[in-house]
Chain A
Amino acid sequence: MEATLLDFDLRDKEEYIINMGPQHPSTHGVLRFEVCLQGEQIKYLRPHCGYIHRGIEKMSEALTYPQLIHLTDRMDYLSAHINNEAVALCVENAMGVEVSDRVKYIRTILAELSRIASHQLWWCAFGMDLGALTTFFYGLRDREHILDIFEETTGSRLTQSFITPGGLMADVHPNFQKRIKEFITYFRKKLPEYDQLLTGNIIFRERTHGIGVMSKEVAIDYGVTGPSGRGSGFTCDIRKIAPYSAYPFVKFNEITLSEGDTYSRYVVRIKEMWESLNILEQLVDNIPQGPTMLELKAVKAPKGEYYQRVETARGELGVYIVSDGGPSPARIHYRTPNFSNLFVINKLAKGHKIADLVAISGSLDLVIPDIDR
């Protein structure tokens, strides 16, 4: 049984409750932490979510499969391409069709670009949470290049809705490959700056080493996936376990560290950016020719239940579709990574100072609309 407000006689123990959020700058969205403190020490912590619940799963029941794609953009908006891909793959599996290699390659390239862009934005915001405002401008400067690639091909910078059941909305722009190659050479030069600016910084190191240690067992118990889980030595990369799209064709390493503290979660993400650059380099020159859209008469999943999981920038995203054979799902459920990643925070923050809570919640890389959906 978890401790609640009623279990604490606050006056006797000199304990008090502080609400962090829902409008706190370092919760990155409308999330509220109910923090019970003794002095500066956290006694217990309860996250309250639901402030940005929009009922995406229920809304999707009224929409056809190509239409509901655009709602998945609005869950984890930093890996919009990957969310689109998850639904598209699930519907394609249900229909028993397979897209061309060209589509697979382009989907994987877009997914890896979004992963880098997402980690860049996380790096900016994490540095800013810990008081290093410089990182915010440096990270956004590099992210701009990826957003330009997205904008040129898909027409949008954040909510692209480009991947659809059966293929892609359009073919890529002629400049697509050239721009990616330019970006790879550019970012290879700029990524060491991230280490010089923040990784080695003494203030940053003191604030992250040994803070919020998560053991592998806890990570598995709570279902913490993605870079946060891999920082604790939990091998949970869906790209390796159950390869989809073009991941079987590329060679890459799964980054795992065993320490499990805030710093190791940070290092996993920095190293993942290098790995994503390697994946991009292997794919960008070898995009095969082929159709970008399958000739489908109607996008209808046959009666049954279907599940597909993919690796977003934050962990494992599962899409569960129950179909009655119609053009829209009877029930759709998303197993979002952030929801599981959030609730481990009580375990990590207990006993630490309130200032460390910012570092811990930052290192879990939470995107609040993905928690509430």
Chain B
Amino acid sequence: MALLKTIKAIGKYFYDIYDGVTSLARGMKVTGSYFLKPSSIVTQKYPENRATLKMFDNFKGELMLIHDENNKHSCNVCNTCARRCPNGSIEIIYKKVEGADGRTKKVLDKYVYHLETCSFCGLCVPSCDEFALKFDEEFEHAVFDRGKLTKVLNKPGSSSKATKE
């Protein structure tokens, strides 16, 4: 009886060695096969491929106010995007201008976007009835100074499509 037990134990010992070596070989076969196939490499060399790197169209980069070729945007200062933003990242500063018909009108002065508090939930873009906003494809947000994260989105000298000259 004791002999049988010893033989079994010895058998298990050698089986474990065989099992261990084959299991390791099976794993090494997978890694080895990729080692011999350089075509299967999926990694990208990031800073080098900057010129060709293209994000998807829907990518949520930084918020931008769409300007057309005449430097005109479509914001009519309705403040919906600022109210919808959960973090208060959008601040719309306007001034009141007297129009040709004698009524005062709100005109966009500064469209301030706080990138540092934006959580990219994407609620602002569909909230705009004028389709004035979109996310661009910028993904390198890092800057050295925190102040640079507060951005003014309307370009200098731009005006709204809604206001007549």
Contacts and interface: CB of A to CB of B under 8 A. Distances in A.
Interface stretch (A3-11, A27-35, A67-75, A304-312): A67-75
Contacts of B26: 196, 200
Contacts of A170: 58, 126
Contacts of B56: 148, 151-152, 155, 173
B29 interface: yes
B24 A161 contact: no
Contact of A200 (B23, B84, B86): B23
B120 A173 contact: no
Contacts of A66: 84, 123
Interface residues of A, number: 30
Interface in A267-315: none
Contact of A196 (B27, B84, B126): B27
Contact of A155 (B24, B27, B135): B135
Given A67-B84, A161-B121, A197-B30, A156 B23 contact: no
Interface in B95-128: 119-123, 126
Contact of A144 (B24, B42, B119): B42
A241 interface: no
B123 A153 contact: no
A201 interface: yes
A55 B122 CA distance: 22
B135 to A, nearest CB: 7
B30 A154 contact: no
Given A200-B26, A201-B27, A70 B60 contact: no
Interface string A171-202: 00100000000000000000001001110111
A161 B122 CA distance: 8
A254 to B, nearest CB: 29
A156 B31 contact: no
B64 to A, nearest CB: 14
A67 B123 contact: yes
A153 B122 CA distance: 13
A202 B120 contact: no
B19 interface: yes
Interface string B7-37: 0000000001001100110110111000000
Given A155-B59, A155-B135, A69 B121 contact: yes
Contacts of B27: 134, 196-198, 200-201
Contacts of A141: 42
B119 A159 contact: yes
B62 to A, nearest CB: 12
A124 to B, nearest CB: 14
B121 A202 contact: no
A329 B8 CA distance: 67
A151 B119 contact: no
Contact of B122 (A63, A134, A169, A200): A169
Interface of B: 16, 19-20, 23-24, 26-27, 29-31, 42, 55-56, 58-60, 84, 86, 119-123, 126, 135
12 contacts: A63-B86, A66-B123, A68-B86, A134-B31, A141-B42, A153-B58, A155-B122, A155-B135, A156-B60, A193-B30, A196-B26, A197-B31
Which A-B residue pairs are the 8 nearest by beta carbons? A70-B121, A202-B20, A155-B60, A67-B86, A155-B58, A161-B121, A202-B23, A152-B56
Interface of A: 63, 66-71, 134, 141, 144, 148, 151-156, 159, 161, 169-170, 173, 193, 196-198, 200-202, 205
Given A67-B121, A155-B59, 10 more contacts: A66-B84, A68-B86, A70-B86, A70-B123, A134-B27, A141-B42, A156-B120, A159-B119, A198-B27, A201-B27
